[in-house]
Amino acid sequence: MANLILASSSPRRKELLGQLGLSFDIFSPDVDESVLAGESAAVYVERLARVKAQAVQLRFPEALIVAADTSLGVDGRILGKPESKQHAFEIWAQISGRKHDVFSGVCVRTKEQICSIVVRTQVEFQTLSLHDMEDYWATGEPLGKAGAYAIQGIAARYIPRIEGSYSNVVGLPLHETAQLLMRFKMKI
């Protein structure tokens, strides 16, 4: 294993971290991603990032670990990945025609040091018709995506504006991740 390990199986996070020009390996930890009672989206994503980083650190104690988690927050509720077509439509009904928050928790750690942050980006979604939802579901893109959409894909046509980090919405806020890595003397 390389000195740097990305604790994720997400192809989007792999691609994003690669944009920093770093060499790294990937190891996806198996962790419980259940939401705790009363947990906000911001607290949830930071907790999961820290849990993922710790799980990988136990396996590779000499490595520098980067872990992240991303979720949507609307009206104090966490919107995760769609479990079915009906669930995706329910998610879209909640974000249609309004703004929502995308939160990513990022944790960078060694066995001696842990740093984590939460990054928030506000995303505006146009009003979606039932036809829009049917068409988008048919693409297959919503599967496995927080909020049932991929801003870097077809869903971009439904998003007139964002406030904050684009890469955060994709799944890994690059500027903030680079800043954390530099705290660990990583050359970026």
Q: Please list the active-site residues.
A: 69
d(CA 89, CA 91): 5
d(CA 11, CA 14): 5
Where do the DSSP E strands lie in 12-167? 25-26, 64-74, 77-79, 99-109, 114-124, 161-163
Strands 4-7, 64-74: pairing is parallel
Residue position matching structure tokens 């995760």: 80
